[in-house]
Structure 1
Amino acid sequence: MSVIAAALLVPGVAACNSESTDSPSAGSSSREVPKDPKEALVASTKGLADGNYTFTIASESFNGSGGVHKPSNSAQMAMKMGDESFTMDFELIQIESDTWVKVDLGDLFAGIPGMEGMKDKYQHLDAAKAGGARSLDMLKEGTDPADAAAMFQGLSEVQETGPGTYSGKVDITAAKDSVAADEDVLKALGDQAKAVPFTAKLDSEGRLTELVISVPAAGEAKAQEIKVSYADYGAATAAQKPPADQVVEASAQTYEMFK
């Protein structure tokens, strides 16, 4: 997937225990897990819709962590990504209508006027100016990094492989906001994108705790596994504003980057 797209789609601070035997988190209520494997996976995303959880994401080319806390209308994420030719560190904090981003493009900053001095600063974005940047809104519906609720509408060959563990294939074209659904990769995959192998784990409450998507090689992109883990259902913490002395107003280049 494209590096910028990865950063924009993924909400940072989390430590996840993704074993299928997880005990219920604070604020959870007992839910009966459907016996049908497809129905169980579809139902497993209801906890994400509540908007109070943390997550981590890992792949060969990017890693990150984050959290969504709708009780305070706040969210945050941190990402590191790149390869031998490109690196990027990205942080985002959203509280109500205020958004701050910190971006470090490594050596690429040297070629962008005014950006070198920004890499250690949180840039505050004006909501009116950034109105078209839907990907910066982490509180919108379907925000989780895998966009699991949408993705699980395209399940096939699903089977329960053990207590709380599942495998099958998924149509990643159904999840436009997923970290696995980069536009260029989808185009290169063609029909393969409609049947991508996955494994999943649910906790004892039937909530999704781990999703591993095995994206095949396509075009110039190598095959890779993308692992998203979810935890702290009902017990995430509110995001905090960055220190005032580390905040500047976003540059024109930053607004352009997130269009």
Structure 2
Amino acid sequence: MTQRIGSAAGLRRIAALATAVLATTVLSAGCGTGDASESTGAAPSPSPDPKAALLAAVPDEKDPAFRFSTVEGADKFDGVVDPAAQGLELSMSEKSQDPEFTMGMTFRVIEEDIWVRVKITGMPGLQDMMKLPKRWMLLDRSKLDDASEVPVYQNADPANTAAVIRTAETVEDRGNGTYGGFADLTANADIRENFSTVDVAALGEAAKKVPFTAVVGPDGNLTSLTLDVPAAGKQKAMKLVAKYYDYGKAPKLTAPTGSQVQKAPASAYEMLNG
């Protein structure tokens, strides 16, 4: 339920690469977040046009910086959006069980520029084995084999909640800032591409009426959108959840400077290109 903000599958591939690097080295040697709770206070009054009211609550380019998180099955992301800077920060992590270590990766995008920072914990020395600096690394997109593996800033709605809401024929105002409706995941190609964790084809007709619940805070800002995707074929029922919070409280995004940053070395491109 996201824009092109990066591939969790890509991170899993990179974590697998880290495992492979570790295994090779051993053989050769002989051996996120802030509080996502919804704001409290008086709830918005019922609207005569619930769909329009809900769409108006979706963040846009006029909003201050805010935090977000998304959960799509096993894939979890969190980050910051700063519309004024055309900035996006996206964090994700993947845990390896054998051997046990965690690879965390954070991308920062400011307009066309992109940086990545990698942090490997639980296995001392592995990050050095992979020759990955711990500072921000400035990436050259032209050196990436698949640009879809890294984020871009598209707009202030990273989970594409507005696109989902627009597919609903009607939206019900349930009171207390809560709205409900049915999304059509087959509405267009862009919508289908946004749901990489959902087998839309397997859902069949059910994909045209997927229930969703949205919550708008007393400040008029969207705080959450939850899709209840039914089971289909081998796919279990799942909830797809997007949360937007800390409007005006999240840090503004700026380009890393000085000793915080360096140009990405060849090892970074080897990692990302797999």
TM-score > 0.5, shorter chain as reference: yes
Residue 259 of structure 2 is aligned to residue 239 of structure 1: no
Mapped partners of 2:155, 2:235: distance in 1:
29
Provide structure 1 residue ranges, at least 5 long, that are not aligned to the other structure: 24-30, 107-113
| Residues in 2 aligned to 1:208 and 1:173: alpha-carbon distance in whole angstroms | 24
Given candidates 150, 166, 174, the residue that maps to 1:153 is: 166
Mapped partners of 1:143, 1:169: distance in 2: 19
Give, in angstroms, the shift of residue 14 of structure 1. 4.1
- Count residues in correspondence: 237
Q: For the structure 1 residues 224 and 249, does the alpha-carbon distance in structure 2 shift closer, same or farther, using more than 3 Å as the test?
A: same
- The counterpart of 2:106, out of the listed 84, 88, 91, is 91
Distance 2:148 2:72 in 1: 24
Which residue matches 1:50? 62
In structure 1, distance between residues paired with 2:9 and 2:108: 13
For residues 55 and 131 of structure 1, do their structure 2 counterparts lie closer, same or farther at Cα, with a shift above 3 Å needed?
same
Superposition deviation, residue 160 in structure 1: 2.0
Partner of 1:78: 91
Partner of 1:38: 51
Partner of 2:14: none
Q: 2:211 corresponds to which letter in structure 1?
A: P
Structure 1 residues 20 and 167, CA gap change in structure 2 (3 angstroms): farther
Contact 2:45 2:177 in 1 (8 A): no
> Whole-Å Cα distance in 2 between the matches of residues 7 and 143 of structure 1?
22
Match of 1:64 in 2: 77
What's the CA shift string for 1:80-125, capped at 9, x where partnerless? 357979976331112343212245799xxxxxxx983338564431
Structure 1 segment 69-218 matched on structure 2, within 5 A: 69-81=82-94, 89-102=104-117, 116-118=130-132, 120=134, 122-130=136-144, 133=147, 136-141=150-155, 143-145=157-159, 147-156=160-169, 158-174=171-187, 176=190, 181-182=195-196, 185-218=199-232
Does the Cα contact within 8 Å between 1:62 and 1:82 map onto a contact in 2? Answer: no
Q: 1:128 to 1:117 in 2, by over 3 A?
A: closer
Seen in structure 2, the aligned counterparts of structure 1 residues 242 and 233 have a Cα distance that, compared at 3 Å, is same
| Equivalence for 2:270 | 253
For the residues of structure 2 that align with 1:91 and 1:219, how far apart are their CA atoms? Answer: 34
Residue 200 of structure 1 deviates from its aligned partner by 0.8
* Alpha-carbon distance in structure 2 between the residues aligned to 1:19 and 1:58: 20
Distance between the aligned counterparts of 2:162 and 2:236, measured in 1?
A: 26
Kindly report structure 1 stretches of 4+ aligned residues shifted beyond 6 Å.
82-87, 177-180
Identity of aligned residues (%): 27
Say whether the 8 Å CA contact 1:19–1:201 is kept in structure 2.
no
**Contact 2:138 2:261 (C-alpha < 8 Å) held by counterparts:** no
Cα distance in 2, alignment partners of residues 180 and 171 from structure 1: 12
Q: Any conservation in 2 of the 1:20–1:165 contact (CA below 8 Å)?
A: no
CA deviation after TM superposition for structure 1 residue 211, in Å: 0.9
Q: What is the TM-score with the length of structure 1 in the denominator?
A: 0.70
- TM-score by length of structure 2 reads 0.66
Unaligned runs of 5+ in 2: 11-31, 122-127
